Amino acid sequence: MRMFNILRPGDCILAMAALIILLTAAGCNNDPSATSSAAGKNTDKERPAFLQIGEFAVNRISPERTEVRDGAGRTLVLIPREAPMPTDCAPSQVVRVPVRRVAAYGAFDVAVLRALGVLEQTLVGVTTPKERWHVPDVKRGMESGRIAFLGDAASIDYERLKQSEPELVLTWDPSIIPLMDDLHIPVAVTTTPQAMCLNARMRFVQFLAPFFHKEPEADAFFARIDAALRDIRARTAGATRQPKVMWGDIYEKRVMVEPGNAWVGELVGLAQSNYQFEDVFGTSCIEITVERFLYSGQDADIFFTYRSRDMGATSKAALARLNPLIKDIAPLKNGRAYAPLPHYSQSADKLDEILTEISAILHPEFYPDYQLHYFAELPDVDPVAVKEKSHDHI
């Protein structure tokens, strides 16, 4: 499972430190809100010429040329639609902006298009079938034929992709680049080998914004998320307890968790809580040993499973039946367990609400009467089982 396509920490830039401090708005750090002072500045003159977003970068060379570095470390050159082709780079590196037609592999990329306000006008292809979408704009587009189902991400129908005539493909799969080059379709890789930190996740919208001339919308989105984080920090500052949190699951052959360098781990820490996999570093949804998972579960208070209801996460007892190894972790015995609702993974444009909800789960004492919208707290047993048990007793 890919959580929000989640992305990677920034490169360490050691040389010319003073210049980078002046030009770089944000990389990955442990204080996302510390870099928000320019969030409301939307004019070209006020916007930094260079922006570091984890391992992604945006470099405004001139009003007619912006260079971006994608998740595969490739440089793409953004130029006006009617500008002559640059002679100092390969045609496959050139993207004419604003982009009008986009194919997107991941739900995270689609959500970012929605955050920028360009989804309805630009999205022409996706890799998730219509019945699995919970975004009304996408469902309507697929019903009208404006948005094509391109096939599963692992087996794309490239003929259908070509017929959709995208001017840009957003993907987590770098292996498609040679074929896309042959089809003369520019590609931006939107994931990297390490999980996205909280600051990069907040700012990723600013990486895609120049492709559509939507920088003010991206800045406004960042400001909204930053405001939510400031509220979380203020609300939880006086917490007298720090719940221990797990995020992941055990499958038939693999144990997957969110690493400490991912946005999830950083948010847990920011909300005055302890993340049980804080010392795990790597990609989003990283594999660890069963022993480590169970050890961390011995004294955990809260467990977030990757599994949704349609994957069997209907109760704590159901999770234990799916994999008896986890039946004795503390959250399933005397703590709390949460499963994502179906629309959660397609809601990255509501990141402020998601961050707030996670904080409300960690510290319900600071969020009286809060109603969950993206997660469901799992009961001890399935309601049907309770009903049957009561009937048998009678």
Q: Count other Cβ atoms within 10 Å, centred on residue 111.
A: 23
Tell me what the pLDDT averaged over the chain comes to.
88
Candidate from 35-49, 169-183, 237-251, 307-321 with smallest mean pLDDT: 35-49
Same domain, 186 and 54: yes
- Integer Cα distance of 308 and 306 in angstroms: 7
90, 150: one domain = yes
Domain-located, residue 347: yes
Q: Is 291 exposed, middle or buried (0-12, 13-18, 19+ CB in 10 A)?
A: exposed
Specify the pLDDT at position 13.
26
Q: Which domain holds residue 325?
A: 240-387
Report pLDDT for 233: 97
- Count CA atoms closer than 13 A to 53's CA, side-chain side: 28
pLDDT band at 31 (very low <50, low <70, confident <90, very high): low
Within-domain flag for 231: no
Q: 254 with 363, same domain?
A: yes
The answer to the question of residue 3 being in a domain is no
Condensed to tens digits (0 to 9), the pLDDT of residues 131-141 reads 999 999 999 99
Q: Cβ-count burial of 182 within 10 angstroms (0-12 exposed, 13-18 middle, 19+ buried)? A: exposed
Average pLDDT over residues 265-290: 96
Contacts of 184 (CB under 8 A, 6+ apart): 91, 92
* 156 and 278 together in one domain: no
Please name which of 203, 273, 279 lies closest in space to residue 232, comparing C-alpha atoms: 273
Indicate whether 275 and 352 sit together in one domain. yes
Residue 21 scores a pLDDT above 60: no
Task: Specify whether 57 is located in the same domain as 182.
Answer: yes
By the 8 A CB rule, do 217 and 202 touch?
A: no
State whether 276 and 182 are in the same domain.
Answer: no
| pLDDT the model gives residue 44 | 60
Gap between the Cα atoms of 15 and 34, Å rounded: 22
Q: Give the model's pLDDT for residue 385.
A: 53
Report how far Cα 191 is from the mean position of its chain's Cα atoms: 10
Contact 48, 23 (CB under 8 A): yes
What is the per-residue burial (b if ≥16 Cβ within 10 Å, else e) of 322-335? bbeebeebbbbeeb
* pLDDT for res 48: 82
Summarised one tens digit per residue, pLDDT across range 217-253 is: 999 999 999 999 999 999 999 999 999 999 999 998 8
Query: What per-residue confidence (pLDDT) applies to 252?
Result: 86
Q: 33-42, 44-53, 112-121: which has the highest mean pLDDT?
A: 112-121
| Domains contained in the chain, number | 2
Are 62 and 200 within one domain? Answer: yes
DSSP letter for each residue of 309-320: GGGT-SSHHHHH
Domain assignment of residue 230, yes or no: no
Kindly state the percentage of the chain with pLDDT values over 70.
86
32 plus 171 within the same structural domain: yes
Q: Is residue 234 part of a domain?
A: no
In this prediction, residue 41 carries a pLDDT of 45
Whether residue 9 lies inside any domain: the answer is no
Cα 180 from Cα 51, distance rounded (Å): 27
Please check whether residue 53 lies inside any domain of the structure: yes
Residues 247 and 208 in one domain: no
CA angle 21, 24, 25 (to 5 degrees): 110
- How do residues 54-89 score in pLDDT, each as one tens digit? 999 999 999 999 999 999 999 999 999 999 999 999
Note the residue count of the chain: 394
The residue among 167, 197, 212 that closes a domain is 212
pLDDT of 201: 95
Residue for token pair 């405004």:
60
Asked whether residue 300 is assigned to any structural domain, the reply reads yes
User: Domain holding 106: CATH number?
Assistant: 3.40.50.1980
Dihedral angle of Cα 133, 138, 144, 150, to the nearest 10 degrees: -70
Tens digits of per-residue pLDDT, 285-344? Answer: 999 999 999 999 999 999 999 999 999 999 999 999 999 999 999 999 999 999 999 999
Residues 87 and 207 in one domain: yes
Residue 388 scores a pLDDT above 60 = no
Give me the percent of the chain exceeding a pLDDT of 90: 83
Whether 188 and 318 share a structural domain? no
Count CB-CB contacts under 10 A for residue 240: 6
Residue 6 pLDDT > 60: no
Q: What is the mean pLDDT of residues 29-46?
A: 50
| Beta bridge pairs of residue 317 | none
What does the alpha-carbon distance between residue 333 and residue 19 come to, in Å, rounded to a whole number?
A: 53
Spatial separation of the C-alpha atoms in residues 133 and 348, rounded to whole Å = 14
The reported pLDDT for the residue numbered 43 is 53
Question: Higher confidence at residue 43 or residue 9?
Answer: 43
Asked whether the predicted pLDDT for residue 272 surpasses 90, the reply is yes
Cα 59 to chain centroid distance, Å, stands at: 23
For 78, phi and psi rounded to 5 degrees? -95, 125
Give the pair of three-digit tokens for residue 164: 């959709």
User: Does the structure show a pLDDT above 70 at 167?
Assistant: yes
